[in-house]
Amino acid sequence: MADGSTHAHRITQTTTWRARNALDDLLSDASELEAACQAALKFILQVIGRSGGALILWQPNQDDPPLLIKQALPEAWEAQDNQPSDRLRQAAALLAQRAEALLPQSFPELKDLSIGLPLSSEAGLRGALLIAGETCSEEEIELLYWLIPSIARAATTLQARQTQQSRTRELAHLQAELTRTGFGADSEAMQAQLIRETCKIMQVETCALTLLDELHEGWMISKSLGDQGQWVYQVNSRDGPGLVKECLRNGAMACSNDVKHDPRFDAASDGMADLTVRNFLCAPILANGQVLGAIKTLNKQNGDFDAYDQDLLTMIAVQAANALYGTRLIQQLKVTNADLEASRWELLGSRNTLRALFDHLPAALYIIDADYKLLAINKSRTQRIGQPPQALVGQLCYRALFNRSDPCPECRVRETLQTGQSTQRSERRYVGDDVFEWEISSHPILDENEQVIQAILLELDNTERRRLEAILTQSEKLAAIGQLAAGVAHEINNPLTAIIANAQILHRELPANSDLQESVDLIARAGARATQVVRNLLDFARKEEVHLGLTNVNETLERALELVQHEILARGVRLDFSPDPNLPPILASQDHLQSVWLNLLLNAIDSLDKSPGEIKIITRKLSGDIYISVTDNGKGIPADRLTRIFEPFYTTKAPGRGTGLGLSVSHRIVKQHGGRISVESTVGVGSTFTVVLPAS
């Protein structure tokens, strides 16, 4: 009986681990929160042998309804759905407030309840899992407790991703609205739109815009919107205490999550009438090195202001600076044009003033006529091509700025010239290995008869904003992969160690001429290959120190080929390995280089879609560098994907065939060795990956 109990426990524990690993794999492929929850609920019901249940998640925004995922609910549960007295949601709400299971006897109001378990995470996720049917056994409850953290982690990650995507769309909408109202020279409308959109994006109770008084030095004006949309003004001195004044003086962010106990907070200048302030966040509005004012947000709806909120408000402040600065310049431009009619001397003075303002715009700006001839261009635009503005005026814009013989195909300025409507588009430009992203808008210039005679083109550099968004997204990915890597290392490395160790024991005990020696050797090499996969995952999740030594590149390639020899023979691949026998040894990490070759070889094998498949490997020394090229005659990589194949988590393989980590890890290893990796590919012909390593 004792032996049988031990065996049963071992089987139960193994089943638990397998179930959690399978659930982790299932959720890792999900890209949408609702789809992930549906898959998780279906999986759990299958594992414990129940047919009905529900998964409820509260949204980050408390005003949004909870996400309800259900499957084969009892009729009594379905009849209550969306009713004020819904026992299903009452049970879920009870679970969200407590940290223990909800058993049938503790909530008899919900008929046929098997068990309810709370779902929560440190990131603030709240939810509940409700199972219908017969009462769960202790083993099933223990299994559910093992599986719930996987659902919480995946839901937290997907909720954060959806929030980030929503914020990105809101920032893009804010940019479009500020551009639209700003170029209409309607400063009041633009500022009102800025305040409304900032409250929505930052999820705060209220927001205010503080501007430095240009006419009366030493004073500042705070503007907010009242309940009826009217302006509420507050005038204060720039001197004295206060977080807003500190922000204006230092040109830096000011934040307080407990203003009641913060001596820096000044209710007169930082607060608002009839508002009890809990927390406060303020960002300076800077344009061309000049402080124009500040934007402050009060009382975050959920929790405290964090680093993400500070980055978000900084990006909003950048957009506000461009809009305010641009609006001011356009207003000054209109005033200047009116004054130009007075006299020739005023014309000359106003032209010089306009030129100075025009040149110091932080955004690139130029004006063309109906024939694409440049009439004016500021220094922000001409500095990118290294010529003064006067050298370009009078030339065709597409020839002077882009070295083209005809208009740019994606340009929408012709639409503005023909219809009198403003246009907007995004464009990516590649300069070497760097990628720059621009927001390009065109706006009409009308004559006295309201006819379009010219167009203004504005180019806003969004590269830094995209970089910050990418950093935020990548940090979320790295956090998730770090947790996954730790679990994988613990769960896979231990059995792999046992496999490799036992294979080595068999290798020593078998006779040297035994036919089983080759099989044992294959087991050991396969175990080593699986260990390397885990190491690659850990290498990506953490920065690992590379230990260098004198290394023969050809030998590392030969060892990599041994690991894929079975795959090459099984698929009938023609292999042409042409190593240079005179390659000098280099200072490198043998294991890391071998992992690079192994990844390139496996990718080449996976790409082969014709018979016979061919892979050619060449090593040679040129001009003090070692060149290693891996060429295949596979399906090739489309041109629009070539620029992204070295990005983490990006893969051109079919779902389930790749993680998107291999080339990213290989790229990092080659960079750590002071080398570079490049690719040339033609669809239907094949691909060539070239690695260049310094010889000394």
Does 211 map to a domain?
yes
What single-letter amino acid sits at 599? N
For residue 75, is it within any domain?
yes
Q: Residues 6 or more apart from 344 whose CB is under 8 A from it?
A: none
Residue 118 has what pLDDT? 86
Contact between 41 and 150 under an 8 Å Cβ cutoff? The reply is no
* CA dist., res. 363 & res. 525, Å (int): 58
* One domain for residues 479 and 497: yes
Q: Does residue 295 have a pLDDT over 70?
A: yes
Q: What is the DSSP string of 145-194?
A: HHHHHHHHHHHHHHHHHHHHHHHHHHHHHHHHHHHHHHTTT-HHHHHHHH
- Collapsing DSSP states into helix, strand and coil, what is residue 251? coil
More confidently predicted of 228 and 64: 228
Is the domain of 563 the same as that of 687? yes
Over residues 446-471, mean pLDDT? 82
Domain boundary among 429, 461, 493: 461
If asked whether residues 508 and 528 sit together in one domain, one would say: yes
Q: Where are the alpha helices (DSSP H) in 340-459?
A: 344-359, 379-382, 389-392, 397-402, 413-419
Q: What pLDDT score does 19 carry?
A: 82
Joined together, the tokens standing for residue 189 give 């409308």
Residue at 262 is within a domain: yes
Task: Please indicate whether residue 298 or residue 273 has the higher confidence score (pLDDT).
Answer: 298
C-alpha–C-alpha distance, residues 534 and 196, integer Å? 49
On whether residue 342 sits in a domain, the answer given is: no
Alpha helix segments (H runs only) across 231-343 = 243-250, 267-270, 307-339
Same domain, 518 and 439: no
Residue 84 reports pLDDT greater than 50:
no
- pLDDT for the residue 297: 93
281 falls within a domain = yes
pLDDT of residue 282: 94
Label the pairing between strands 586-588 and 614-622. unpaired
- Res. 663: pLDDT tops 70: yes
pLDDT at residue number 563: 79
Structure tokens at 433: 């290995």
- Residue 515: partners with Cβ closer than 8 Å, 6 or more residues away: none
CB burial class (10 A; 0-12, 13-18, 19+) of residue 683?
exposed
**Are the CB atoms for 206 and 275 separated by under 8 Å?**
yes
Cα 495 off chain centre by:
35
Do 518 and 565 sit in the same domain of this protein?
Answer: no
310 and 407 inside one domain: no
Asked if residue 144 belongs to a domain, the reply is yes
Are 50 and 139 members of one domain? yes
What does the alpha-carbon distance between residue 9 and residue 16 come to, in Å, rounded to a whole number?
A: 10
Are 320 and 239 within one domain?
yes
Task: Please state, for a pLDDT cut of 70, what percent of the chain lies above it.
Answer: 81
The number of beta carbons lying within 10 Å of the beta carbon of residue 687 is: 23
* The pLDDT of residue 486 is above 90: no
- The pLDDT, as a whole number, for residue 8 is 34
- Indicate whether 138 and 60 sit together in one domain: yes
Q: Which domain holds residue 491?
A: 470-534
- Supply the pLDDT for residue 578: 92
Q: How far apart are alpha carbons 281 and 279 in whole angstroms?
A: 7
Q: Identify whether 483 is part of a domain.
A: yes
Task: Tell me the average pLDDT across 437-446.
Answer: 87
pLDDT of residue 318: 86
521 and 565: one domain?
Answer: no
Outline where 517-616 has alpha helix (H). 517-541, 553-570, 590-607
At residue 131, φ and ψ (nearest 5 deg) are -115, 135
As for how many domains the chain has, the answer is: 5
Length of the chain: 696
DSSP three-state, residue 336: helix
The pLDDT confidence band at residue 579, using thresholds 50, 70 and 90, is very high
Query: Based on the domain organization, do 634 and 608 belong to the same domain?
Result: yes
pLDDT per residue as tens digits for the range 114-144:
888 888 776 666 788 889 888 888 888 888 8
Range with top average pLDDT, 16-20, 41-45, 85-89: 41-45
The CATH number linked to 145 is 3.30.450.40
Chain-wide mean pLDDT for the chain? 80
Tell which of 113, 145, 160 closes a domain.
160
pLDDT class for 213, splitting at 50, 70, 90? confident
Whole-angstrom distance, CA of residue 276 vs CA of residue 637: 59
The pair of structure tokens assigned to 532 is: 């390397």
For residue 503, what is the domain's CATH number? 1.10.287
Q: Check residue 22 and give its pLDDT.
A: 84
The mean pLDDT value for 416-437 works out to: 80
- pLDDT band of residue 302 (cuts 50, 70, 90) is confident
The reply to whether 326 and 287 lie within a common domain is yes
Is residue 357 a part of any domain in this protein? no
- Residue at a domain's end among 440, 461, 482: 461
pLDDT of residue 626: 92
Residue-wise DSSP of 6-34: HHHHHHHHHHHHHHHHHHHHHHHT--SHH
